[in-house]
Structure 1
Amino acid sequence: MPLTQSLYESAEALNQEFAKEIVALLKQGIDERGRASLMVSGGRTPLPLFKALSEADLDWSRVDVSLVDERWVDESSDASNTRLVKQNLLVGKAAAARFIEMKSPEADAADAVIDCEGRLSAVSQPFDVLILGMGEDGHTASLFPCSEQLADGLKLDSGRVCIATQPTTAPHQRMSLTLPAIVASRNIFLHLTGDKKRQVLEDAVANSTATEKPIVAVINAASVTLKWAP
């Protein structure tokens, strides 16, 4: 499917306008269905966006927030997306949102897939807003090209919402949404900054298969809007 592009002159402009768009979509979900859902990714790129969202006027008590993927680490770890979201998004006005965690006590993420799917079933679905990032290897969520579990994660007819993955090029076992769970979302955004990431994306779309650059699998299967700034 064609990739819609929204390009901004600065990251600040992107984050302010993107936050307004997300809030409008969540308000629409609340108005139409009583609750709305926001699925977010970790990393440094979304931190200013999280700040803008946390200050937004919205009935956050009717919003479910969860993660696109999570590293299988304790919340005390700097690598925890749960920690990042709690400290940067679920503060201020957005503290009233209901947060559904991916991480659970099992030592092996593979033993927690069913439990994670059960918890995510409480989230308003299809997800109203889902925000992806992308690594320089073309991975998105925790669907890594180097992972043995990639083929299962990309099966559109798998019926699975979550998958445990183990990248060989990055630390930590992960829990990730599957491709079918991602592409079922009502609004899918790819949030990137910097020329290098945009170049990786353009090269992936032009020259790579879905297994070589998993972001291509999402773009091929759903309508995705790129939000990009230098």
Structure 2
Amino acid sequence: MTDPVLHRYDNRQDLAEALATGVAAVLAGAIATRGSATLAVSGGSTPKLFLEHLGRAEIDWSQVEVTLVDERWVPETSERSNLSLVRRHLMQGPAEKAHLLGFYTGHDTPEEAIEELRHRYCRLSRPFDVAVLGMGTDGHTASFFPGAGNLDELLHPQGHDEVAAVHAPGAGEPRITLTLPMLVDARFLALHIEGEEKRTVLDAALAGSDVSEMPVRAILGATRAEPLNVFWAP
């Protein structure tokens, strides 16, 4: 286990700019080396400013595949859609040339779509060049929620499924998520959190080991060649 590296910023604007600059550099390097790059991003309110800064980066976005870390099982027309959020805040300006891959298929449940989605995601280039995660005050990240019936499967380090459906008390809608192995082998893995409350949650997660209580611990404690980068501002 490599200890996470904490990057502290005085404000959220500085954090967004720094994270976007770092992510853009990794993507540009991947394009220069292999001709393409893959990026997985999270939804919610926290990453909006970061996504807007990243979308203005002058890189060859036509060679970037953008996907989601997880998604609520709702159509893109829903205000709860992560795909919609990413399209509005990232896919503008230079980044509109990127290829955006979402989860929602129109099936009634994520379980009905799971085979189609596994086939879709197994074709993505791995490892991802960049994966940017968030964290809830309950200690969840991606859609790894406390109380999810299949949490052990989601967090299995040697699991073979790329994606999985999730139902949990704190999740609201049914969800679909990338599994732990898809995320922790990213070349650049970041946890983006803001506010004193989430810093307290992070400290609690680092102080314990029970992943069922705080699933983000599976990310914090994952074995990686490069450390997890935690970006925080008050």
TM-score, structure 2 normalization: 0.95
Instruction: Report the equivalent of 1:77.
Output: 78
Structure 1's consecutive aligned runs of 4 or more residues displaced over 3 angstroms after TM superposition are none
Q: Check conservation: 1:35, 1:124, Cα contact below 8 A.
A: no
Per mean C-alpha deviation after superposition, the further-off stretch among 101-110 and 36-45 is 101-110
Q: Alignment length, in residue pairs?
A: 230
Instruction: Report the equivalent of 1:207.
Output: 208
- What's the CA shift string for 1:103-128, capped at 9, x where partnerless? 11211101222211222234332100
Instruction: Report the equivalent of 1:68.
Output: 69
Label 1:92 to 1:122 Cα distance change in 2 as closer, same or farther (>3 A): farther
3-state SS of 1:125 partner: coil
CA distance in 1, matches of 2:156, 2:18: 34
Instruction: Report the equivalent of 1:105.
Output: 106
Check if 1:172 corresponds to 2:173: yes
Question: Which amino acid counterpart does residue 229 of structure 1 have in structure 2?
Answer: A
Q: Check conservation: 1:64, 1:124, Cα contact below 8 A.
A: no
Check if 1:89 corresponds to 2:93: no
Pairwise CA distance, 1:99: 0.7
Instruction: Report the equivalent of 1:227.
Output: 231
CA distance in 2, matches of 1:184, 1:106: 29
Instruction: Report the equivalent of 1:119.
Output: 120
Check if 1:136 corresponds to 2:137: yes
3-state SS of 1:78 partner: coil
Instruction: Report the equivalent of 1:185.
Output: 186
TM-score, structure 1 normalization: 0.97
Label 1:121 to 1:170 Cα distance change in 2 as closer, same or farther (>3 A): closer
Please list every run of 5 or more consecutive structure 1 residues that lacks an aligned counterpart in the other structure. Answer: none
CA distance in 2, matches of 1:169, 1:28: 38
- What's the CA shift string for 1:99-152, capped at 9, x where partnerless? 111111211101222211222234332100000000011000001011111111
Question: Which amino acid counterpart does residue 210 of structure 1 have in structure 2?
Answer: V
Identical residues among aligned pairs (%): 38
Pairwise CA distance, 1:6: 0.7
CA distance in 2, matches of 1:207, 1:122: 36
Pairwise CA distance, 1:208: 4.1
Q: Check conservation: 1:36, 1:128, Cα contact below 8 A.
A: yes
RMSD across aligned positions (CA): 1.1
CA distance in 1, matches of 2:220, 2:108: 33
CA distance in 1, matches of 2:212, 2:188: 23
Per mean C-alpha deviation after superposition, the further-off stretch among 104-113 and 82-91 is 104-113
3-state SS of 1:197 partner: helix
Please list every run of 5 or more consecutive structure 2 residues that lacks an aligned counterpart in the other structure. Answer: none
Q: Check conservation: 1:139, 1:215, Cα contact below 8 A.
A: yes
Pairwise CA distance, 1:170: 2.9
CA distance in 2, matches of 1:118, 1:99: 16
Question: Which amino acid counterpart does residue 105 of structure 1 have in structure 2?
Answer: G
CA distance in 1, matches of 2:127, 2:116: 19
Q: Check conservation: 2:143, 2:171, Cα contact below 8 A.
A: no
Pairwise CA distance, 1:188: 0.6
Question: Which amino acid counterpart does residue 185 of structure 1 have in structure 2?
Answer: A
